[in-house]
Chains A and B, each alone.
Chain A
Amino acid sequence: MNGASPNSPDAARLITPTMLIVWLLLATIPLWISRIGLYPYLGIEILIWSIYALSFNLVLGTAGLPSFGHGAFFGIGAYAFGLCQFNVSSNLWICLVVTTLAAAFAGALAALFISHRRGIYYAFMTIAFGQIFWTIAIKSHSITGGEDGLLKIARLPADFGFVSFDLKSNVSFYYFVLAVFVVIVIALWRLTHSPYGRVLSAIRQSETRAAHLGYKVWFYKASVFAISTGLSGLAGGLFAMAQLAAFPDVMSLHQSGYIVMMTLVGGGLVSFWGPVVGVFTFLIARDVIGAMTSAWMLWFGLLFIVIVLFKPEGIAGAFRSIVDSAKAKARHAQGMSALRLLFRS
């Protein structure tokens, strides 16, 4: 199951020790990222994609629904943020709420059509909807700017009434995205371990059984899809702020494929943190391998194949089995020393 095992103490916690460590590490990134030859903007990208990947994994990892068109909702969020800023309000909070709701609404609309489907049919329907939204974005030139994108999106200040933060610099924006990341992590951790999360995970394991236990399966599938797309849209809104623009490219099928790859490589099927691990691996590989060769995707593709062949649980899964075997070794060593003590006396 992706998350703490249901009976571990972490499952009932609002904030876990792992979360604190991850947040602390992330908070230090702007202090050293330039020194190792990378740049603060990469940190922003990693956090935004992490929010996106965690939201996506709610559908893929927790509920077991293969969605290959999630990019559409990330993109809808990006456009919604820009359009809201231009036409509705220049308040950051209003725009982020509108962004989330717009993507959730589009997700709910798609979910109405796909939630009665399973497996490959479900996957195909998500691709179809992704392509529909992507085409609309490209063709609605007067609204979205078509292939040129929606430009001149501003990083609105984070206004708390008594104090207002300017987010124009990459470092201050990084910390703003980190704050959103913290909230999303807490919310998704709790959701995954709530009764709702348990039901979703049960549906992943057997839709048939869940239905015969009285669960309205399609409604659970639709609701989690809407929640996931809404949060993906929120990530998209942040991405529009980061890029100062919204482009249709993120909605394309191959970009939707990236989020699936990140989540699987990281280990989203077995671990709550898997998607975040995957995003780190993917984006750092893009920059590091990409600096050496323009065919970096070839190497990442190979990594993907190797993982699927030898460690389908992803990097987080591999890490977990290393920890488990180390623990087993430690237990074994304890047992041996206990035996030695016995024989000595």
Chain B
Amino acid sequence: MALIEAKGVHVRFGDRVVLEEVDMSVLEKECHGIMGPNGAGKTTFFNVLTGRAKPTRGELFLDGENVAGLPPHRIARKGVARSFQIMTLFDEYTARDNVMVALPQFRDRGFDMRRAAAGDSHFKSEAEKVLADVGLADKADIRAKELPYGDRRALEIAVALAQKPRVLCLDEPTSGLGTDGVQRLLGLAQKLKGKLTMIVIEHDMSFLFSLADRISVLHWGQVVARGTPLQLQENPWVKRSNLGKFS
């Protein structure tokens, strides 16, 4: 059974239909890519998936439970973590503190007003482990806003990983990165692949085609093609559109 199952998800903002009867299923531990031109509804689909937008109608099952329309914090607590296309970090916090706040153990103590957060070395070492996983071990003490762009992208993913998610949603993780940055990110993503369920929105086709198990193509709010990267290369729609131009 699929871990995530979207059935007829429909989103309308005023008189604009952004997603139209989208069906999508993502298997457990699969890496599922979403591609499509700008304005196709990719990020809106993510927003529905993570509780940021409510679907006008339709159902969204996470492990058999309909989570459509739940607020973000409840969906996050069910193990869905996301990164943002426009980076959303705690800029004044150090890299370590960004990750620390994201730890579920820290969240469980969120209403603790009596103890000093700094006194807890357990959180610190947990956070440092996650930073090491994304290659930021030596940058733990640098404030997020002072990190170079590529490191900020990595920190976005570290913050999501710190949640120990079952489902990791990455919204254009390579956006703004140079070729080195993309390679580094690809290495990281391939390391994660198979360990958890990943859904990746991406414009960089070669990145997505070398990473994803299956890909759904969104256009004008509808799924116009789906399949493995190999199948999609032969898909007439993808071939016709400029999306098919991958190296």
Contact surface of A with B, Cβ cutoff 8 Å: 1, 6-7, 11-13, 190-191, 193-199, 201-202, 205-206, 208-217, 220, 223
How long is the Cα–Cα vector from A213 to B82 in the complex, in angstroms? 9
- A212 pairs with B72, CB closer than 8 A: yes
Chain A CB within 10 A, most for which of B51, B107, B163: B107
Which residues of chain B are near A210, meaning CB under 8 Å? Answer: 101
**Contact between chains at A214 and B111 (CB < 8 Å):** no
Query: Which residues, 155 to 183 on B, are CB-close (under 8 Å) to A?
Result: 159, 163
B97 adjacent to A209 (CB under 8 Å)? no
Name which of A194, A213, A217 has the most chain B CB atoms within 10 A of its CB: A213
**Could you tell me the dominant secondary structure of chain A's interface residues?**
helix
Identity of the chain A residue whose Cβ is nearest the Cβ of B145 in the assembled complex: A205
Instruction: Note all chain A residues with C-beta closer than 8 A to B89.
Output: 205-206, 209
Mask: chain B, 200-239; 1 = CB below 8 Å from A; 0 = not = 0000000000000000000000000000000000000000
Instruction: Check A211 against B141 for contact (C-beta < 8 Å).
Output: no
In the assembled complex, the CB of B207 is this many whole angstroms from the nearest CB of chain A, namely: 23
Selected contact of A213 from candidates B76, B93, B94, B112, CB within 8 Å: B76
Q: Using an 8 Å CB-CB cutoff, how does the interface string of B63-104 with A read, 1 for contact, 0 for none? A: 000000001110011000110100011111110010011101
Instruction: Tell whether, in the assembled complex, residue A6 and residue B117 are in contact, meaning their CB atoms are under 8 Å apart.
Output: yes
| A194:B116 contact, CB within 8 angstroms | yes
Report the count of interface residues on B (CB-CB < 8 A): 39
- The reply to whether A202 and B101 form a contact with Cβ atoms under 8 Å apart is yes
Measured in the bound complex, the distance between the Cα atoms of B79 and A214 in whole Å is 9
Q: Which 5 A-B pairs have the closest CB atoms?
A: A214-B76, A12-B116, A211-B72, A205-B90, A11-B118
Complex: chain A residue closest to B81, CB-CB: A212
Is the CB of B50 closer than 8 A to any CB of chain A? yes
Q: Given A191-B113, A195-B109, A196-B113: A212 and B90 within 8 A (CB)? A: no
Q: Does B240 contact A (CB under 8 A)?
A: no
C-alpha gap A195/B163 in the complex (Å): 16
Are A213 and B159 also in contact (CB < 8 A) when A1-B92, A6-B118 are? Answer: yes
* Docked-complex contact A198 and B117, CB < 8 angstroms: yes
The yes or no answer to B115 lying at the interface (CB within 8 A) is yes
Residue among B88, B90, B113 making CB contact with A190, cutoff 8 Å: B113
Q: Would you call B16 an interface residue if the criterion is a C-beta within 8 Å of the partner chain's C-beta atoms?
A: no
Task: Find out whether the CB atom of B92 lies under 8 angstroms from the CB atom of A205.
Answer: yes
Contact, CB under 8 Å: A213 / B102: yes
A213 touches B101 (CB 8 A): yes
CB distance from A13 to the nearest CB of B (A): 8
Which residues in B have their C-beta under 8 angstroms from that of A211? 51, 71-73, 76
What chain B residues lie within 8 Å of A191 (beta carbons)? 113
Measured between C-beta atoms, what is the minimum distance from B131 to chain A in Å? Answer: 15
B61 within 8 A of A: no
Q: Shortest distance in angstroms between A139's beta carbon and chain B's nearest beta carbon?
A: 37
11 A-B contacts (beta carbon < 8 Å): A1-B93, A194-B113, A194-B115, A195-B110, A196-B112, A208-B52, A209-B84, A210-B101, A213-B76, A213-B101, A215-B107
Contacts of A13 in B (CB 8 A): 116
Q: Tell me the bound Cα distance from A23 to B97 in angstroms.
A: 31
Q: Is the CB of B114 within 8 A of A190?
A: yes
**What is the bound-complex CA distance between A215 and B110, given in angstroms?**
8
Q: Using Cβ atoms and an 8 Å threshold, which residues of chain A touch B100?
A: 198
Which residues does chain A contribute within 8 Å of B117, judged by CB atoms? 6, 11, 193-195, 197-198
Minimum Cβ distance to chain B for residue A100 (Å): 16
Interface set, chain B 39-53, CB cutoff 8 A to A: 50-52
Specify which chain A residues have a CB less than 8 angstroms from the CB of B52 in the assembled complex.
208, 212
